[in-house]
Chain A
């Protein structure tokens, strides 16, 4: 078995004004041991909801989540707690995800205390110091508080905390979005090093395609709750097939004056998937949309080389 995590037809619906919000709608994906799955999409595409549903911070509506082959979709919270050490989360805003009333050492020790890993205070402190070394936090910050540190160091606390229980899977929800580029590079390097050393698997949720390209093995592009394209990173950037992914790629401002590409400007804006009808959700903004797109929802199909695309006209558009 290669997959640490398998998600099958996962759905999460929220009651919303005027109907049901299909935040995550029929998402199927899997993450292999030691690999990184990047989940990209714009705000409201359901990428965060997906991550939180996998960690059962939000209860799924339907579908299946298998962690190391074990179905965890609807098991009760007590049983799930036993699995928590193996799957941890890193949050976007390191300031608001750290308790302002706890010192650095207390924050990092928290998961160890919750699961009563150590009997003696000394062993606990040694582990905390070890974790601080692992994530590159100087020991002199042991007793400081989050408000005294900068964003990069705060995020290191978040990472140390996630690592404390030797997890196998870490869900990173926009872990570098709130950071400046120089710090972002440090944190990305750290995450990569940790992956190599500890054999971690990541689900890397972000809106930043360059970051996701840098760190992921596989990428899943989401639009309004659904996966529109899913394949390995090289393939995606070499052969972008879905019109949304193409538009997304072309919209990224490139920090270079050479090889500038023609922008493919999308019309309209993201809507929210409240009571979606049976149609391609991207159709209203798609430059290639035809009648069929407004009448039926495309399936995510393999177009060869485990490159999956959800588009009726993928062959016509890309000439394959």
Chain B
């Protein structure tokens, strides 16, 4: 049969060809973002998180009063137009204190997790990459650290170093470091099994290149996800330590220490407790929602 190629067919082929290209670039990160956008709860979490960060940055502008401004005439007031969240037993505006509190909890939370991941994560990566003896030595040392519950360890470190933001960061990062090293190690070990690591070796890629261009970019999703969850835990730890008087002390408006201070007046003025408590809850919830969404978005199995 003679092959008939009519102008109409040519037009269709051209149209199809046009339809196909140029191919829109879609990087793995962009794909992940597309999946994340679909998850409404994660976006809610993200928005709350951004609002919280903005609150911390612009606390000076947002807060109606100074956080340590004592209006002794207006002690333990219930929420009103002048004081949207009421006042505490020194007559300080709770809204202002809560806003300034974001400046304490968020940086300490993030910083301590960053340090824990930087130190623990590097050790974990070294252990996973080298395997064998190196892995064994590093992980056994981590095991020793991990045999002490992190909270107890944080209390011990905070108690011995004394109060203050810097010491709090140290206490939390040291106590959580072993767990973070395990996360990074597991992530790299999983990636290491893939054929593309072997193909990189076959191409002659150096160990450094294998780690930086092949293993880390593929492990970063898992690490990022656990990072958000870790920040949530760290913020809870900050508050808990402050609550028992080991972290940030008055008059610095840390949410945990505000809870602690307010517990005596729980019956007369519950709002003193409710608002800082609510802030802790919202922050942790937002981080967890966002972390959940991030995990789903970055998990290649769901693609």
Contact = CB atoms under 8 A, between A and B. Distances in A.
Direct contact between A and B in the complex (CB less than 8 angstroms)?
A: yes
Interface of A: 52, 55, 57, 81, 84-85, 88-89, 91-93, 96-103, 110-111, 114-115, 138, 140-141, 143-145, 147-148, 158, 161
A89 B199 CA distance: 8
A52 B197 CA distance: 13
A163 to B, nearest CB: 12
Contact of B199 (A91, A143, A148): A91
A183 B88 CA distance: 74
Given A57-B198, A91-B198, A147-B31, A101 B205 contact: no
B204 interface: yes
10 closest cross-chain pairs (CB), A and B: A84-B204, A97-B195, A101-B217, A96-B195, A89-B202, A140-B21, A97-B199, A99-B196, A111-B203, A143-B25
A86 B90 CA distance: 79
Given A93-B195, A97-B196, A101-B217, A88 B26 contact: no
Given A99-B196, A99-B218, A148 B201 contact: no
Give the dominant DSSP class at B's interface.
helix
B23 A144 contact: yes
Interface in B8-67: 21-23, 25-28, 31
Contacts of A147: 28, 31, 303
Contacts of A52: 198
A237 to B, nearest CB: 31
B194 interface: yes
Interface string B179-196: 000000000000000111
Contacts of A92: 195
B203 A161 contact: yes
A102 B199 CA distance: 13
Q: Looking at A55, A88, A97, A98, which has the most chain B CB atoms within 10 Å of its CB?
A: A97
Nearest to A81: B204
A32 to B, nearest CB: 23
A114 B27 CA distance: 23
A158 B28 CA distance: 19
Nearest to B303: A147
Contacts of A84: 202-204
B300 interface: yes
Contacts of A111: 203-204
Contact of A100 (B22, B204, B300): B300
B263 interface: no
A140 B202 contact: no
B214 A99 contact: yes
A96 B300 CA distance: 12
B200 interface: yes
B194 to A, nearest CB: 5
Contacts of A161: 199, 203
B140 interface: no
A276 B300 CA distance: 42
Q: Looking at A88, A101, A103, A110, which has the most chain B CB atoms within 10 Å of its CB?
A: A101
Contacts of B205: 110, 114
Contacts of B303: 147
A96 B218 contact: no
A51 to B, nearest CB: 10
Contact of B194 (A57, A96, A103): A96
Contacts of B198: 52, 57, 91, 97
A88 B25 contact: no
Contacts of A91: 195, 198-199
Given A141-B23, A144-B25, 8 more contacts: A91-B195, A91-B199, A96-B195, A100-B28, A100-B196, A101-B218, A102-B213, A161-B203
Interface string B193-227: 01110111111111001000110011000000000
Contacts of B195: 91-93, 96-97
B21 A98 contact: no
A101 to B, nearest CB: 4
9 contacts: A52-B198, A57-B201, A100-B196, A114-B205, A115-B204, A140-B23, A145-B26, A147-B31, A161-B203
Given A99-B218, A100-B28, A114-B203, A148 B196 contact: no
A110 B21 contact: no
A96 B214 CA distance: 12
Given A57-B198, A114-B205, A115-B204, A100 B25 contact: no
A52 B205 CA distance: 16
Nearest to B199: A97
Contacts of A55: 202
Nearest to A110: B203
B9 to A, nearest CB: 21
Contacts of A140: 21-23
Interface string B266-280: 000000000000000
A105 to B, nearest CB: 11
A144 B28 CA distance: 10
Contacts of B202: 55, 57, 84, 88-89
Contacts of B194: 96
Contact of A101 (B23, B28, B201, B204): B28
B270 to A, nearest CB: 51
Contacts of B25: 103, 143-144
A156 to B, nearest CB: 15
